[in-house]
Amino acid sequence: MYQEEYRRWLSADLEDADLKPELARIEGNDSEIRERFAVSLKFGTAGLRGVLGAGTNRMNIYVVRQATQGLANWVKTQGGTQTVAISYDSRLKSDIFAKTAAGVLAANGISVRIYDALMPVPALSFATRYYKCNAGIMVTASHNPAQYNGYKAYGPDGCQMTDDAAAIVYDEIQKIDVLNGAHFISFAEGVENGRIRFVGDDCKDAFYEAIEARQVRPGLCRTAGLKLVYSPLNGSGLVPVTRVLNDIGITDITIVPEQEYPNGYFTTCSYPNPEIYAALELGLKLAEASGADLMLATDPDADRVGIAMKCPDGSYELVSGNEMGVLLLDYICAGRIEKGTMPADPVAVKSIVSTPLADAVAAHYGVELRSVLTGFKWIGDQIAGLEAAGEEDRFIFGFEESYGYLAGPYVRDKDAVIASMLICEMAAYYRSTGSSIKQRLEEIYAQYGRYLNKVDSYEFPGLTGMDKMSGIMQSLRDHAPTEFAGQKIVSVTDYKDTEATGLPSANVLIYALESGASVVIRPSGTEPKIKTYFTTLGKDLAEAQAQKDALTEAIRPLLA
């Protein structure tokens, strides 16, 4: 079957000149052909994501057309404005895929609002809401290596598409021939006939105004003298992040020159993920050379941000996603109470795999902290519930341990632009009081206990990877462990049991241990990985780390 499909592609008159040589090169190589044609890229709630190249299991203009036709079929049943917003980042072919999607939508009589240059995830979410669109498309593969691209599909609320809607789109995609089943006109024709229009300056300005309205201490940064090193990691963050920082008065910004401008090859960091040290290395060297107060980096689609903070001895220390989530929650709560801008009955939201230290901080400030499934759409879902009750202003902050943050209900996905603004404002504030982010973090640990949160990943590549992951998760359920590293398991929460959790079903297991530590095991939703999340609590960092190391050794054989 896959050989037949390969031969059909090989003999077709393909519009993308890059695909023919690849198809010719793999002729006679069964494993390479099977890898590209035995399956199709699955359209899930995160949309599409895959390696660039030829075939049904690769990202190319034909797979994009097929997926977008499926999306168009769904949009046509939805009434409303019959409009879809589109944005894209710096990845290879992102602009081509964005314009391809626009051409399919326009051919289906659907109006398109597309950004005239690369813009990040939160800008797409904002435009979807601003233009009251039926859907949004963000062409990106987030922080994956350079050979990947994809697209995220959004619903009318600017949140990633619901499971139900994605399932309908996927069913529609199945009916469409990948090579010639999609309706399509050129981007130029769509612009000429008025179906495709660019996002206006009014929308862009409203996006920046919505972010800047969420300052905790307006005006503070103009006099604080904060010195910043910033890297957009060759992605879409440069324009929006520097615009907002300049607007609030942070002007001493040194951009990492090798990572300043869009470059989908990511030649300076093979894995442009602000969670990992290698992506921040050039920025750290520049920070050390310039004595910057802070170094931050946003990922290619600028929905996540990682930072390094300056310590009292002049060295720089990376801040984890959990630590920054807690620091921002603490700063927003304290600052808004001080300024009298805290809403009544404030709500913050975090994912179930994020640190319980946030629960303690929220309780201290009288904030309701809700825990939701992993994936920022579930945080967006909580905002939507508040909005439906006319109470969206109760939402003050949401975060995930994977470096995603949002303050305010103006978009429904994580936003590295507002996170960068608030992190810089927080650093400026502590600097102005003779303190620092590092000092405040140590005070938080002294007040609530020394929490340590670490994540380990186990990779399962290839066509059999998903089956292996499924088997491991099933084995953990069928042969439930009773202890890890000599620590008794006092409770297990299986998130497939919706009655027990009150949340939608998810393939997640959480083990609570007698020491107060916890272990979360879940397959990644976007990569062939099983992730283990450890929370340990000790009298100091060394004790918490020793607990974590023992747990890692105990769990590794179960996931091998």
Q: How far apart are CA 275 and CA 229, in angstroms?
A: 17
Strands (E), 157-280: 196-198, 228-231, 253-255
Tell me if 56 sits within 8 A of 36, measured CB to CB: yes
DSSP state of 258: G
Tell me, what amino acid is at 228? Answer: L
Catalytic-labelled residue, pool 142, 402, 420, 518:
142
* CA 182 distance to own-chain centroid: 29
Tokens 């598409």 appear where?
161
Q: Enumerate the β-bridge partners of residue 197.
A: 113
142 included as an active-site residue: yes
Task: Give the chain's length.
Answer: 560
For residues 415, 395, 212 and 341, what is the CA-based torsion angle, rounded to 10 degrees?
-150
| Separation between Cα atoms, residue 146 and residue 413, nearest integer Å | 23
User: What does the alpha-carbon distance between residue 369 and residue 353 come to, in Å, rounded to a whole number?
Assistant: 14
Phi, psi of 43 (to 5 degrees): -95, 110
User: What SS3 string covers 41-66?
Assistant: CCCECCEEEEEECCCCCCECHHHHHH
Count Cβ atoms below 10 Å from residue 101 Cβ, excluding itself.
Answer: 28
Catalytic (active-site) positions: 142
